[in-house]
Amino acid sequence: MLRKYGVLTGLAILLSACQPSPSFLVSTSPISSHEADLYKEVLIEAALIFVFVTGALIWILIRYRSRGDKALPPQIHGKTSWIIIPVFLIVALDGMDFVWMVQTMKAVAAPQQAVSDLNIRVVGHRWWWEFDYLDQKIATANELHIPVGTTVQVALESVDVIHSFWVPQISGKTDVIPGQHNTMWLEGNEVGEFLGQCAEFCGTEHALMRFKVIVESQEDFDAWVADQQKPAYQPQTEDEKAGYEEVTGACAACHSLDPSEMDTDKVGPNLTHLFSRGTFAGGSFELTEENLRMWLEDTQAMKPGNDMDIKVLPKVRDQIIAYLLNLK
Ligand code: CUA
């Protein structure tokens, strides 16, 4: 059994590795486009220097190669021009880099807070991301919805170790450090889904600490918010009722069914609208009934080392799933 899941996990990682990895060079935001510009400028500069230096070296090697004469060529030292020219070149090139860098830093610096901003708290957990919408009073996980063209002010917190929040096509990386309040900002210029990844090694499942940023129209975002604010589904059938008892009983130590509960001490994500999300377990697996069943059969086989180490009877598992499937 364990081996089967091991192979499945391996296959999932392999398949995801085959997808084109998101690059900041394909930017869809003001931040990553400024970063990409700086990268290209420095790359071109470095390439020109490489071509010039290598070319000069090859030319000198050929032009002044030994032609059999034994005597040493004239020795040059102490010539001021040979000191001034390199110093001037280094100062000029470094000065240019410095100006580019300062310009980029200024361009990506957080804009002044405005009332129209979206305020989000990102909490790093081993190994998943909590997203709290402070003004909308919604807590969700692993999928960050933002309206296109809106400035998003992000507060970063960790409940355990150091993580790093990174959406290559949208923003740079910022460390998420326990006990320290870091901030960053985001803005998506294009509607779409953009992959994010924890960029600081944080333990066994660091690689499976992924997330998605879903940039959508203001209209779609508002509709999503309205849905997320709704209370959890009330159980109807006998199975759903039994499942609900479990979810609000034993499971409640780690998971919440209150859409507005932002208790970072809870070890697991808010489940109120679980099935409105496409992935689970740190954005690592597609959220389907089959995968959820596999997860509840043996969470440790699917994502070894995670904090959810539970055993439930098959009957109870079916009841929990019967209820969870309705959490849209
Ligand atoms: Cu969290 Cu790596």
Q: What's the pLDDT score for residue 256? A: 92
How far away, in angstroms, is 283 Cα from ligand 1 center? 12
pLDDT digits (tens, 9 = 90+) for 15-73: 555 556 788 888 888 899 999 999 999 999 999 999 999 999 999 999 988 888 778 87
How far away, in angstroms, is 160 Cα from ligand 1 center? 10
Instruction: Count CA atoms closer than 13 A to 315's CA, side-chain side.
Output: 2
| Alpha-carbon separation of residue 124 from 120, 187, 219, 257 (angstroms) | 13, 20, 29, 20
Which is the closest atom of ligand 1 to the Cα of 199? 2
Say if residues 157 and 124 touch (Cβ distance below 8 Å).
Answer: yes
How far away, in angstroms, is 162 Cα from ligand 1 center? 7
pLDDT digits (tens, 9 = 90+) for 206-256: 999 999 999 999 999 999 999 999 999 999 999 999 999 999 998 999 999
pLDDT digits (tens, 9 = 90+) for 96-150: 999 999 999 999 988 889 999 999 999 999 999 999 999 999 999 999 999 999 9
How far away, in angstroms, is 243 Cα from ligand 1 center? 32
Q: What's the pLDDT score for residue 69? A: 78
Question: For the chain, what percent of residues have pLDDT higher than 70?
Answer: 94
DSSP string of 199-228, one letter each residue: -S--STTGGG-EEEEEEE-HHHHHHHHHHH
How far away, in angstroms, is 173 Cα from ligand 1 center? 12
pLDDT digits (tens, 9 = 90+) for 120-133: 999 999 999 999 99
Which is the closest atom of ligand 1 to the Cα of 206? 2
Q: What's the pLDDT score for residue 16? A: 54
Residue 196 parent element (H or E): strand 192-197
- Joined tokens for residue 75: 């020795």
Which is the closest atom of ligand 1 to the Cα of 127? 1
Which is the closest atom of ligand 1 to the Cα of 176? 1
Say if residues 86 and 163 touch (Cβ distance below 8 Å).
Answer: no
Asked if the model's pLDDT at residue 1 lies above 50, the reply is no
Rounded distance, CA 195 to CA 188, Å? 13
How far away, in angstroms, is 199 Cα from ligand 1 center? 6
Which is the closest atom of ligand 1 to the Cα of 161? 1
pTM of the model: 0.84
Ligand 1, CB within 6 Å, residue ranges: 124, 127, 163, 198, 200-202, 206, 209
How far away, in angstroms, is 131 Cα from ligand 1 center? 15
Which is the closest atom of ligand 1 to the Cα of 202? 2
Which is the closest atom of ligand 1 to the Cα of 201? 2
Among residues 210, 215, 185, 188, the alpha carbon closest in space to that of 124 is found at 210
Q: Whose CA is nearest to atom 1 of ligand 1?
A: 163
Q: What is the mean pLDDT of residues 154-172?
A: 94
Q: What is the DSSP letter of 79?
A: -
Q: What's the pLDDT score for residue 22? A: 82
How far away, in angstroms, is 127 Cα from ligand 1 center? 7
